[in-house]
Amino acid sequence: DAGVIQSPRHEVTEMGQEVTLRCKPISGHNSLFWYRQTMMRGLELLIYFNNNVPIDDSGMPEDRFSAKMPNASFSTLKIQPSEPRDSAVYFCASRPESGYEQYFGPGTRLTVT
């Protein structure tokens, strides 16, 4: 069975550029989470969706960040414009309705220079 799929796996971009991260959750899972992980702050929840609807986006750092989930099998996290402090590993995770375990994708390692 395919797990959570994220792309790209690595992204290097210059400050000011737009960055789009993509996630395909596990089929049948109805909750999707976007996290950011840094050494200093650990794993931070940015936003989560339930049945494609954003439920809690209080973790989104600022207006430069936006997330969408147009259907049950696809979500994007966009940063525009990107800044060096956005450098981190961004994880997407999904969870089935019937359980608490979150299944994480392999992450996107973002470097903004």
Partner 1 sequence: RKEVEQDPGPFNVPEGATVAFNCTYSNSASQSFFWYRQDCRKEPKLLMSVYSSGNEDGRFTAQLNRASQYISLLIRDSKLSDSATYLCVVGPSNTGNQFYFGTGTSLTVIP
* Two tokens, residue 26: 């596990």
* Contact yes or no for 49/63 (Cβ under 8 A): no
User: Which 74-113 residues touch partner 1, going by CB under 8 A?
Assistant: 91, 100-102, 104-107
* Two tokens, residue 90: 């961004």
Of 50, 52, 66, 87, the one binding partner 1 by CB under 8 A: 50
Nearer Cβ to partner 1, position 14 or 56? 56
* Contact yes or no for 77/34 (Cβ under 8 A): yes
DSSP 41-80: TEEEEEEEEETTEEEE-TT--STTEEEEEEETTEEEEEES
Nearer Cβ to partner 1, position 98 or 100? 100
Of 17, 55, 97, 111, the one binding partner 1 by CB under 8 A: 55
Q: How far is the CB of 89 from partner 1 (least distance, A)?
A: 8
Binding site for partner 1 (CB under 8 A): 35, 41-45, 48, 50, 55-56, 91, 100-102, 104-107
